[in-house]
Structure 1
Amino acid sequence: MKLASLVNDIQYNENRPTIQVLMETDAGKEIRIAFKEGQVMKEHKTPFPIVVEIFEGSIEFGVNGETHQLKKGDLIGLEGGVPHDLKAVETSTVRLSLNKADSAKRVEGVVNQ
């Protein structure tokens, strides 16, 4: 059994979103991304399918040049290879579910672009 929390010990970076791996299982990885208002993750792709949950706040989620306004409780799933970007409309917490074969370091690389 593994336990994690989306609300405890949230850390924000002044210059870019903060990535934290909350849990890793045989099936995948759960990552928390903490955004301050206005912070972005530039356009990128993932080699594997992902699911993104807006746990708190509001995010402009761009997919193939089209922007979707996502708010607390919204989920979006993408297949691998789909270009997407994120911008925090307000301070937000995002849960990212990754395929086991994907890497948290890849996500950190996107944030550091």
Structure 2
Amino acid sequence: MKTANILHELNYHDEKPQVTLLMETANTKELRIALQEGVEMKNHKAPFPIVVEVFQGEVLFGVGEEVYPMQSGMMVSLEGGVYHNLKAIKDSIVRLSISKFDQVERVTKVAE
């Protein structure tokens, strides 16, 4: 058994998302992305399927030409290779589930 707390040692940065690995399971890596209001994650794609959950706050989730408002509790899944982006409308905590074969460093580079 493994445990993690998505609220533990939470830090926001006023210019870029803060990415933290919460835990690694047999199939996934669970990440927290803390976005201060107005902070964005530029357009990018993941090599494997992902699941994005807005744990707290509100973000605009862009996929292609469409933009979807997402609030606390909402989730979306995307296949690998789909371009997407995020912008925080309020201070937000996003949980990102990525494949065990994906790299946390890839997500961190997107956040820079």
Q: TM-score range by the shorter chain?
A: over 0.9
Q: Distance in 1 between matches of 2:72 and 2:15?
A: 23
Residue 25 of structure 1, CA deviation = 1.5
The sequence identity of aligned pairs, in percent, is 47
Matches within 5 A, 1:15-34: 15-34=15-34
Q: Distance in 2 between matches of 1:77 and 1:28?
A: 14
Q: Distance in 1 between matches of 2:59 and 2:14?
A: 17
> Over residues 14-70 of structure 1, what are the superposed CA-to-partner deviations in whole Å (9 max), with x where a residue is unaligned?
210100000011211000000000000000000100000000000000001200000
Task: Indicate the residue corresponding to 1:6 in structure 2.
Answer: 6
Q: TM-score, normalised by structure 1?
A: 0.97
Task: Indicate the residue corresponding to 1:49 in structure 2.
Answer: 49
1:36 aligns with 2:27: no
Task: Indicate the residue corresponding to 1:74 in structure 2.
Answer: 74
Task: Indicate the residue corresponding to 2:87 in structure 1.
Answer: 87
- Unpaired runs of 5+ residues, structure 2, are none
Q: TM-score, normalised by structure 2?
A: 0.98
- Runs (4 or more) in structure 1 with deviation over 6 Å come to none
Count of residues in correspondence between the two structures? 112
Residue 81 of structure 1, CA deviation = 0.4
